[in-house]
A and B are shown apart, each in its own frame.
Chain A
Amino acid sequence: MTNVSSSSIVNLAKRVAAALPVVVAALVWTAGGLAAAETVPATAGSGSALFAEHCSSCHGAAGEGFRSLYPPLARSRILADEPEVLPCIIRYGLRGEIVVDGRVFNQVMPGNSLLSAGEIARIISHMQALWGDENRAIEVETWLEDCK
């Protein structure tokens, strides 16, 4: 009796010990996955990755803006009301007084000539999904023709 149970305990212990690296590995893997999800967006070149690379340094990772310097894109009515001006703003920049979320901004946003029309489209669809109207059609090529 005692023998059996003690040997089964030993067996159990052995099995747990054997499984430990797997458990640890799984934990590390999950933690790594979580950390990665927080810092590096899933796919390079995706809308969220492009936003993180080209927009968030000013507008904030969550589009929250900064003081009266960088407007909060999460609260911009352009996304829902006037998305056709977005490609022009992204490519050629923006200056002069604007009102976002009831606050006045009067700064200079530099244009970004490195982004292709496809990349601009992915950034816009990322912003629309988070803060705007995701059902709006996005026609970057056409909209770019009308830049002032």
Chain B
Amino acid sequence: MSRPILNNLRYKTMLKLSHLSPCRGVCLPLALLFSLVLFGCDNRGVDDFPVLGEVTRDFSFVNQDNEVVTPVVFQDKVYVTDFFFTTCPSICPIMTRQMTRVYEAVKDEPGVLLLSHTIDPEHDTVEVLKNYADGLGIETAKWHMVTGPQDEIFAMAKHYMLAAMKYEEAPGGYLHSGSFVLVDRERQIRGYYDGTDSEAVDRLIEDLALFREP
């Protein structure tokens, strides 16, 4: 919807400028450059994001404050979700840093929530998650860190089309995806982002700004 309007605007601006002959040589290229900067790269709308999947599975987990977390919590919200565990030595600490960047970016946006699942519920009890969240200094209402039956958590990872499994040889004993998943208000998956890559997470933060508008 928004793209045609912007293109139209750009067209009109160029037309008008080309009538001002004295400044044509300098202004026109400048105006072109300007309109490119203004509209060229930034005219994406949510319609440009294909629907990659639908979150239809029900779940019931418990967060760091011992509150039950079900899909109801995410009703009419855009959310970002991932799978991690607190003692993971390899990629999780980097994912946590990156998710903290997302947290800082959406802290004051009521329409966006974060949901991190531990894949090691045996170690990551509510108390351990609480302690971890306190170490990060985050608010539960914005960033839910949940635990629950391991097979349920693995099933949920699979539902988001992410890998998560026990694997003795991996550092920490688990193999799992480092992706962040963007889920829109209609529970549709709209993006996967490498949670260990700060540039991918820059993009996620930009995309969230598009999706959080009602």
Contact = CB atoms under 8 A, between A and B. Distances in A.
Interface of A: 54, 57-58, 66-70, 105-108, 110, 112, 114
A110 B131 contact: no
Contacts of B96: 66, 69
Contacts of B88: 110
A107 B91 contact: no
Interface of B: 86-91, 93-94, 96-97, 100, 128, 131-132, 134-137, 171-172
Nearest to B92: A57
Contacts of A114: 171
Contact of B89 (A67, A68, A112): A112
Nearest to A60: B97
Contacts of A108: 86-87, 128
A57 B131 CA distance: 19
B116 to A, nearest CB: 13
Binding site of A, secondary structure by majority: helix, strand, loop or mixed? mixed
B131 A58 contact: no
A114 B93 CA distance: 19
Listed residue (B90, B93, B134) with the most chain A CB atoms within 10 angstroms of its CB: B93
B87 A110 contact: yes
Nearest to B171: A114
B133 to A, nearest CB: 10
Contact of B94 (A57, A105, A112): A57
A31 B128 CA distance: 45
Nearest to B95: A57
Contacts of B100: 67
A57 B91 contact: yes
Given A67-B100, A108-B87, A110-B87, A57 B93 contact: yes
The 4 closest A-B pairs by CB, nearest first: A69-B135, A110-B87, A58-B93, A57-B93
A57 B171 CA distance: 13
A57 B90 contact: yes
